[in-house]
């Protein structure tokens, strides 16, 4: 079976900086066109000049055989953001979105918010300029069970915010539960990115047969029932669900220590993982909507005119399962098994 789709976009990716940026950017740039670049560097990106400088570093690090790579820059929602600077950055086209992290929820989130309602003035700039707020929806209340944290955040923070600012476009990032799908169902202003790993795995894969740091991410991969709800939404063709890989590399030294860092590196084989999920769901005809057209429409751009072919065929090759950065850090690649079932060709 062969299917051709417009070159996909990745509406949520962590490209990091320095040696890690150099090592990972090619995986994204050779497969994806638009890439919504997360701002959670060790020093969060909170002003336009830093975003522009980061974009320049990304472009300089991208390989010459990149498809038509267009990094889209985001600012990190914090009190450090100057609203005039934000507005100017949006108007000049440098800033495409703002990302809200709950403080302490995930990697480099210490500078995040403690309450969404603290940033209403910032959201008003977004609503006014037709710019989306990207939300990491995860409660940091230690009394809330780890598998209930997305639902708790939605209930306590996101539903009230959406009601207060119905004109604000919201992307619920890396939706991981039925509660997240229900939030999108109930709010016309909301859409959601879905990751390859949340579509392909459930929490027993993470925990049942030896604990798997390579599958540990935030929000954590949830129940099989939640996974099934994500697959149903993503494969439905509905316009409000689209691919955001949340590809997030961490060195094995940080993943396989006493406290695994959250993040799955899937830029290399995420597309094959998603193709597998759609194929198993009998929904391969809706793949292009999810990977290449829904997100583009949501962010107001045309789908790519260039196409990419996926051919289902057994690949008899030893595919890489790790890569190394120039400074010797090793990173595990997610999805190599799916990549043995699909060959991917970029068409002219
Ligand atoms: O698993 C995750 N890793 N989730 C996030 O929200 C951040 C990311 C990272 O930066 O490593
Ligand atoms: Zn992320």
- What is residue 133's predicted lDDT score, i.e. its pLDDT? 98
Q: Strand, helix or coil at 42?
A: coil
Going by CA atoms, what residue is nearest to atom 10 of ligand 1? 107
- How many other CB atoms are there within 10 angstroms of residue 161's CB atom? 20
Specify the pLDDT at position 97.
Answer: 98
Structure confidence by residue, pLDDT tens digits, 265-288: 999 999 999 999 999 999 999 999
263 CA to middle of ligand 1, Å? 5
C-alpha of 116 from chain center: 20
Tokens linked to 43: 């020093």
Q: Is the pLDDT of residue 225 over 90?
A: yes
Q: Which pTM does this prediction carry? A: 0.98
pLDDT of residue 164: 98
- From 10, 22, 240, 246, the catalytic residue: 246
| Euclidean distance between CA atoms 210 and 204, whole angstroms | 10
pLDDT in tens, 302-346: 999 999 999 998 888 889 999 999 999 999 999 999 999 999 999
Is the distance from the beta carbon of residue 248 to the nearest atom of ligand 1 less than 6 Å? yes
Among residues 60, 7, 32, the alpha carbon closest in space to that of 245 is found at 32
Overall average pLDDT of the 92-109 stretch: 95
- Give the count of alpha carbons within 13 A of 100, CB side only: 27
Contact present, 271 and 335 (Cβ < 8 Å): no
Residue with CA at minimum distance from ligand 1 atom 4: 218
Measure 332 CA to ligand 1 centroid, in angstroms.
15
Q: What is the pLDDT of residues 206-222, one digit of tens each?
A: 999 999 999 999 999 99
Per the CB < 8 A criterion, the answer to whether 126 and 98 are in contact is: yes
* Best CA proximity match to 298, nearest among 162, 148, 169, 106: 169
With a CB cutoff of 8 Å and minimum separation 6, the contacts of 177 are 150, 151, 219, 222, 226, 229
- Distance (Å) from CA 13 to ligand 2 centroid: 6
Active site residue 65: no
Q: Is residue 271 within 8 Å of 3, Cβ to Cβ?
A: no
pLDDT tens, residue by residue, 34-88: 999 999 999 999 999 999 999 999 999 999 999 899 999 999 999 999 999 999 9
Q: Collect all residues with Cβ–Cβ distance below 8 Å to 182 and sequence separation of at least 6.
A: none
Contacts of 342 (CB under 8 A, 6+ apart): 271, 272, 275, 276, 310, 311, 312, 313, 315
Question: pLDDT at position 314, please?
Answer: 85
Proximal ligand: closest to the CA of 262: 1
Provide mean pLDDT across the span 196-210: 98
Q: Which helix (H) or strand (E) holds 204?
A: helix 203-207
The pLDDT of residue 107 is above 90: no
List pLDDT tens digits, range 132-147: 999 999 999 999 999 9
- Segment 177-186 mean pLDDT: 98
Q: Which residues, other chains included, contact 105 with Cβ-Cβ below 8 Å and sequence gap of 6+?
A: 112, 136, 138, 140, 218
Q: Tokens for 41, please give them.
A: 């560097």
Homologous superfamily of 2-346: Metal-dependent hydrolases (3.20.20.140)
As a whole number, the mean pLDDT across the chain is 97
DSSP state of 285: G
Query: Which numbered atom of ligand 1 lies nearest the CA of 249?
Result: 11
To which H or E segment does residue 127 belong? helix 120-128
CA distance 119 to 111: 13
147 class by beta-carbon count within 10 Å (0-12 exposed, 13-18 middle, 19+ buried): middle
Reading the block at residue 111, the tokens are 């500078």
How far, rounded to the nearest angstrom, does the alpha carbon of residue 67 sit from its chain's CA centroid?
Answer: 19
Q: What's residue 10's pLDDT?
A: 98
Which ligand sits nearest to residue 264's alpha carbon? 1
């Amino acid at each position: 079976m062969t299917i051709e789709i417009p070159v996909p976009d990745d509406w949520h990716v962590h490209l990091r900086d320095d040696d890690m940026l150099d090592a990972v950017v090619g995986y994204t740039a050779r497969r994806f066109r638009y890439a919504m670049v997360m701002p959670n560097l060790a020093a969060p990106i909170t002003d336009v000049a830093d975003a522009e400088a980061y974009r320049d570093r990304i472009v300089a690090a991208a390989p010459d055989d990149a498809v038509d790579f267009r990094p889209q820059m985001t600012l990190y929602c914090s009190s450090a953001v100057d609203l005039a600077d934000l507005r100017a950055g949006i108007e000049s086209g440098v800033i495409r979105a703002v990302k809200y992290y709950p403080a302490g929820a995930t990697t480099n989130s210490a500078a995040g918010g403690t309450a969404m309602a603290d940033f209403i003035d910032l959201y008003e700039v977004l609503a006014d300029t037709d710019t989306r707020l990207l939300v990491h929806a995860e409660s940091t209340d230690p009394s809330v069970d780890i598998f209930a944290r997305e639902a708790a955040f939605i209930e306590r923070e996101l539903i009230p915010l959406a009601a207060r600012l119905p004109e604000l476009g919201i992307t619920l990032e890396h939706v991981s539960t039925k509660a997240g799908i229900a939030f999108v169902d109930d709010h016309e202003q909301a859409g959601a990115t879905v990751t390859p790993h949340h579509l392909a795995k459930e929490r027993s894969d993470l925990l049942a047969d030896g604990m798997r740091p390579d599958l540990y991410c935030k929000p954590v991969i949830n129940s099989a029932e939640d996974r099934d709800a994500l697959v149903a939404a993503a494969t439905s063709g509905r316009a409000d669900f689209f691919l955001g890989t949340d590809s997030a590399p961490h060195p094995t030294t940080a993943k396989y220590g006493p406290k695994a860092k959250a993040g799955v590196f899937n830029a290399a084989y995420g597309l094959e993982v998603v193709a597998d999920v759609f194929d198993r769901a009998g929904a391969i005809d809706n793949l292009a909507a999810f990977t290449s057209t829904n997100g583009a429409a949501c962010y107001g751009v045309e789908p790519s005119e260039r196409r990419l072919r996926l051919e289902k065929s057994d690949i008899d090759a030893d595919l890489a399962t790790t890569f190394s950065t120039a400074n010797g850090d090793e990173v595990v690649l997610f999805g190599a098994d799916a990549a043995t079932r699909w060959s991917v060709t970029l068409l002219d």
